[in-house]
Amino acid sequence: MTDVPEIVIEEGSSNVYADLGYADAAEMQRKSQLAAEIARAVKARHLTQAAAAALLGIDQAKVSRITRGQFRGVSEAKLLELVAKLGRDVKIVVGPVRRRAGRIELQFA
């Protein structure tokens, strides 16, 4: 009988970028959430990438990259602007810190 190696499964956190060791993991997660929202909005409006690019004021290749999750080099501010241009309200709420350090969190309605 052959020994079967034991498979070890490690439960990840809620942030895959942190699990992979990215230094800017929280920012990457927020940007990925914004990119996913942009992709959902483009799909919901039945826009082609070319039509989305015209609406957003960016080129079609950038729309393609963002909607495929390739958002390095695109700032969070720019992604927020694109979400708003696609007809989504963006609200930033600043409140008191309940812990030692504040955090940035996105919620989608």
Give the chain's domains with CATH numbers.
16-85 (1.10.260.40)
State pTM to two decimals: 0.80
Confidence label for 92 from pLDDT (cuts 50, 70 and 90):
confident
Of 71, 81, 41, nearest to 52 by C-alpha is 41
Q: What percent of the chain has pLDDT over 70?
A: 97
**Which residues lie closer than 8 Å to 50 by C-beta, 6 or more apart?**
60
How many CB atoms within 10 Å of residue 69? 12
Gap between the Cα atoms of 48 and 45, Å rounded: 9
The pLDDT, as a whole number, for residue 60 is 97
The pLDDT, as a whole number, for residue 56 is 97
Model pLDDT for residues 2-52, shown as the tens digit of each residue: 788 889 888 888 899 999 999 999 999 999 999 999 999 999 999 999 999
The pLDDT, as a whole number, for residue 105 is 76
The pLDDT, as a whole number, for residue 1 is 61
Gap between the Cα atoms of 46 and 61, Å rounded: 18
Residue pair 40/108 in contact (Cβ under 8 Å)? The answer is no
Confidence label for 82 from pLDDT (cuts 50, 70 and 90):
very high
How many CB atoms within 10 Å of residue 62? 19
Average pLDDT, the chain: 90
